[in-house]
Amino acid sequence: MVRVVHYINQFFGQIGAEEKADVPPSMVPRAVGPGVLIDKALEGHGTVVATVMCGDTYFAEHTEEAATKIIEMIAAHKPDMLIAGPAFNAGRYGIACAEVCKRAQAEMGIPSVTGMYPENPGIELCRKMVYIIETTGNAAGMGKAMPKMVSLALKLYRGEAVGRPSEEGYIPRGIRKNVVDARMAALRAVDLLLKKMKGEAFQTEIACPDLDKVDPPPPITDLSVATIAFVTEGGLVPTGNPDNLPYARATRYEKYSIRDIDTLDPEGFMCIHRGIDRKYINERPNRLLPLDAMRELEREGLFKELFSHYFVTTGVATTMANASKIGQGIAQELKTQGISGVILTST
């Protein structure tokens, strides 16, 4: 028998409407309200062992505490799956369902399914992690939504393959899944071109993310007072890669000291970048980060000094979002350190 816990708000839990929205979490060891539809949809394969309820306002105002309490209550019943809602177009309720499902899945490892109207703000909080069955805007769609939620949760519980959003009824999660098209890609390209040329409406299969144009700052007016730093996406790390900087798809950067070092020797530094032939950098790391040349210019007094550390990430297949995050992090540190110029080297 599959053990199901159902999460609902105070209204569907028959505690009361808006005037009862501030009630804290509570539990009843059986199906309540719409939960009877879960029992029905399980068709004897399982049963609702508990219903956990919480007021929407209470959850919104004490999110962390409420969610922790709710997860405790759910876990106490050792369920095989969690059904939350459906929340339809109720915003606070949707957010609560999203949080509870996310945490139940992450902390208890049980499949969790909820249901919402496409405009519910709870969707963006969890749709990449949690399956959300698409519902109507109000509770009139309860009878249609619940069997879909149960059926999808059972599939997840049994480890069966989940089909397309349109087949299963869930809101697209934004996951790009490989599928086999009936028409070869080259032919689709020509189809698309003809539509575009005729001025008909056309749909791209890959949408490019928005560009973030950055205007360069004005040039440094007086180099003699300027501290210059090295930044590279070339994956140059101390030998052994002590911080396990990823060799591709980096999500972070590191900084390493070059204080009192005049040249980068191959014993001390190595390149881990997966997008290039690393041979030439590993022979002479100065080829990526020209420390030897910079020290010479520093001694000649071309600029005040070279910053004591260099910043490094690996620029291989990095997403726009991660690259921006890494760049902002490095820029923030540079600014805090009063650095006025950067030599940015790339592969």
Partner 1 sequence: MKLEMQEYEVRDVRFGKKTAYAKGVLTINKDELLNYISTDARLEGMDVGIAKPGEETRIVNVLELTEPRIKPDTGDYYPGMLAPLGRAGQGTTNVLKNVAVLECGFATGLFGGLLDMTGPASLLTPYAKRINVCISAEPASSANMKEYGLALKQAGMKTGVYLAKATVGMTPGEVKTYDLARDAKSLAGLPRVAYLYQLHNHGEAREPFIYGHNSEDFFSTILHPNEIIDGAIVSFHYNTSTAIKNPTYTVTNHPVILDLYRRHGKEINFVGVVIAPEPPSLTEKKRIALMSATLLKEVLNAEGVIVSKEGGGHTDVDIMENCEQCEKLGIRTVLLDNEFVGPDGTGELPIICITSSANAMVSVGNFEETIELPGMKRVIGGTRMPDIVGEMHEKRTIPVSLVAGAISQVGFTYLRTEVW
Q: Which residues bind partner 1 (CB under 8 A)?
A: 128, 164-165, 172-190, 192-194, 196-198, 202, 204-209, 211, 249, 275, 277, 316-321
C-alpha dist (Å) from residue 98 to 105, 133, 231, 260, 324: 11, 12, 40, 52, 27
Q: How far is the CB of 164 from partner 1 (least distance, A)?
A: 6
What is the distance between the alpha carbons of residues 81 and 3, in angstroms, rounded to a whole number?
A: 7
Pick between residue 158 and residue 188 the one whose CB is nearest to partner 1.
Answer: 188
Pick between residue 276 and residue 343 the one whose CB is nearest to partner 1.
Answer: 276
Q: Are 149 and 115 in contact (CB under 8 A)?
A: yes
Q: How far is the CB of 27 from partner 1 (least distance, A)?
A: 34
Pick between residue 17 and residue 211 the one whose CB is nearest to partner 1.
Answer: 211
Contacts of 284 (CB under 8 A, 6+ apart): 264, 266
Q: How far is the CB of 182 from partner 1 (least distance, A)?
A: 7
Pick between residue 143 and residue 172 the one whose CB is nearest to partner 1.
Answer: 172
What is the distance between the alpha carbons of residues 218 and 226, in angstroms, rounded to a whole number?
A: 14
Q: How far is the CB of 252 from partner 1 (least distance, A)?
A: 16
C-alpha dist (Å) from residue 303 to 135, 221, 290, 298, 326: 64, 11, 15, 6, 27
Q: How far is the CB of 52 from partner 1 (least distance, A)?
A: 29
Nearest residue to 249 (alpha-carbon basis) of 310, 322, 312, 176: 322
What is the distance between the alpha carbons of residues 48 and 187, in angstroms, rounded to a whole number?
A: 51
Q: How far is the CB of 226 from partner 1 (least distance, A)?
A: 26
Pick between residue 251 and residue 337 the one whose CB is nearest to partner 1.
Answer: 251
Pick between residue 8 and residue 281 the one whose CB is nearest to partner 1.
Answer: 281
Kindly state the helix (H) or strand (E) to which residue 66 belongs, with its residue range: helix 63-75
**DSSP secondary structure code for residue 325 in this structure:** H
